[in-house]
Structure 1
Amino acid sequence: MRRRSVLLLVSVVAAVGGIVLPSIGEQQSSGSTRITHVVVNAGKPVVLWSKESATVSFAITAEDKSGIKSVDKIGVWGSNYGVLRPSAAPCVAKTKTVSVCTGSFTVSLANHDVYDNMAGRWYIQATATANDGDRFESDTAGKFFIKKAGYATLTGTQSTAAPGTLLDIEGQLMQPNWKSWLWVWDPHQPVQLRFKPAGSSAWRIVARTTTDSRGFMRAETKATTTGTYAWYFAGKDWSVPVTSAAAQVSVQ
């Protein structure tokens, strides 16, 4: 997202909604101060599907030879004008030069804090100020993901089959709509049909295909040995990986 767009959005939100967020403009860092590490939600994506709210913690590690005075001017932003309100992040000195500053923010689908086109990569913006007056500013100090949940069905299998029987296995991939809070089709996504032989813990890919315009998927495979089948979607920046329930086919 272009910085000019973010700056415009933040200005409008601050004026209308009373949200105090920093302007994302030219960075004005000076000296040896650095933000060395940012962890959001313990390094895991924030996964949402319906009307739930999630309170997400973050930790910002900053360093300077004189010690860290504060980390502030914190913003949480994503694509398509996504902006969330963070808390303050009080700092705790871990050494004479390194401090860890922790805070949180809440994202609520019920309050329409995010929409479908905002799923994906998000950033933490912050300014670290050292005891000697040096500072470090970054509008992409940390990166994290807000992702959609998902589920897949598997249909069309038979419980028993003779060796060499052609199995026609179907399913459907679904995703949540963050505006209506309903499950909807997930079209045109690459999926895999996987098979795990009886007694094995390893899955292998037996077919690859793409969901159609209504999220349906279909593949044919020959029955060779007893085992279980499942559909798998690897996920993307905006969606978590999805595995359908497994169905067993006994080959006799």
Structure 2
Amino acid sequence: MRVRTAAVLLALAACSSASVVPAAARTASGGTVFSHVVVDGGKDVVFGPATRRTVTIAWTAQDPDGVAASWAYLWHGPDTDDADGILPLYPPAGTCAAVSADRTTVTCTVAFVVDAARDLRHDALAGTWKVLASAQDDGDDWTETDVVATARLQRAAGVTVNASPEPVRKGRTLAVTGRLTRADWERGGRGGYAGQPVRLQFRAKGGSAYTTLKTVRSLSGGALKTTVAARTDGWFRFLFPGTATTGPATAAGDFVDVR
């Protein structure tokens, strides 16, 4: 946590024209405490190659001198001085509501648009991002905490399925194929996602839930291939649970008529 005088940060307090303040302006001290930091309702934020969506950050700021204004943004990298990603690039001040009459406690939110084609140009940006929070108190001191929470920004995945032959005699072998893909932020579009565990699931006709039959691993180009004995009418699907960098995906069920 760093506390800095408002004079040093006048440009940022006015419109946040810089995303990272020079290290020379930082001094260690006490200051505002940040808590209850939540990004997008606590869910992973998933982006396709051309996804454009609003992301929110909510937090609480407490300062015995009163909170005059507060900011928060997402950053990615080893530290704030060497961040390879900042969202939004020019962080606006949050909208803060006083919890106490003296504004020693406020709850704040900020919303900003993230355009994958513009803001997420490298696949290496997928994964864990940190939340930096800052505040100016009524005594003109500025507190900045580099990591008050984390959030995951993920590449969107997709998976398909096809079971054949259809119809099929009971007891015969069904070939179940498909493909697992994920968003390619660098090139646009989607590419095959190899080497990933994917669940083959089945829901019997008249049933309400899918059950997992086996787990297969995606091959080169994201190809999925397996076999299963035909037992009864129902739907087959592939389910990919996701990874730290890639969101989950579920194929629409493919119905097989067993005779």
Which residue does 2:49 correspond to in 1? 50
Which residue does 1:92 correspond to in 2? 97
Q: How many Å separate the matches in 1 of 2:55 and 2:226?
A: 40
Residue pairs, 1:3-22, within 5 angstroms: 20-22=18-20
- Contact 1:150-1:242 at 8 Å conserved across structures: yes
Q: How many Å separate the matches in 1 of 2:97 and 2:122?
A: 35
**TM-score normalised to structure 1 length:** 0.81
- Contact 1:229-1:247 at 8 Å conserved across structures: yes
| Greater CA drift, 127-136 or 100-109 | 127-136
- Contact 2:62-2:105 at 8 Å conserved across structures: yes
- Contact 1:30-1:135 at 8 Å conserved across structures: no
Aligned residues between the structures: 234
State yes or no: 1:212 paired with 2:219. Answer: yes
- Contact 1:28-1:136 at 8 Å conserved across structures: no
Q: How many Å separate the matches in 1 of 2:29 and 2:53?
A: 32
- SS at the partner of 2:124? helix
RMSD: 2.7
Q: How many Å separate the matches in 2 of 1:60 and 1:163?
A: 58
Q: How many Å separate the matches in 1 of 2:214 and 2:149?
A: 38
Match of 2:86 among 60, 83, 87: 83
Q: 1:221 to 1:19 in 2, by over 3 A?
A: farther
Q: 1:106 to 1:34 in 2, by over 3 A?
A: same
Q: How many Å separate the matches in 2 of 1:198 and 1:98?
A: 56
- SS at the partner of 1:117? helix
Query: What amino acid is the match of 2:68?
Result: K
Q: How many Å separate the matches in 2 of 1:130 and 1:19?
A: 20
Q: How many Å separate the matches in 2 of 1:39 and 1:114?
A: 25
Shift of 1:233: 0.3
Deviations 1:1-55 (A, max 9, x none): xxxxxxxxxxxxxxxxx95123497883516x42111122233332221334323
Q: How many Å separate the matches in 1 of 2:119 and 2:148?
A: 25
- Contact 1:35-1:141 at 8 Å conserved across structures: yes
Q: How many Å separate the matches in 1 of 2:121 and 2:45?
A: 12
Shift of 1:146: 1.5
Query: What amino acid is the match of 2:237?
Result: A
Which residue does 2:147 correspond to in 1? 140
Aligned-residue identity in percent? 29
- SS at the partner of 1:236? coil
Which residue does 2:133 correspond to in 1? 126
Q: 1:202 to 1:44 in 2, by over 3 A?
A: same
Which residue does 1:59 correspond to in 2? 58
Q: How many Å separate the matches in 1 of 2:208 and 2:141?
A: 55
Q: 1:24 to 1:232 in 2, by over 3 A?
A: farther
- Contact 2:163-2:254 at 8 Å conserved across structures: no
Which residue does 1:241 correspond to in 2? 248
Q: 1:113 to 1:167 in 2, by over 3 A?
A: closer
Shift of 1:76: 2.0
Q: How many Å separate the matches in 2 of 1:133 and 1:88?
A: 16
Q: 1:45 to 1:99 in 2, by over 3 A?
A: same
Query: What amino acid is the match of 1:30?
Result: G
Point out where structure 1 has 5 or more consecutive residues left out of the alignment.
Answer: 1-17
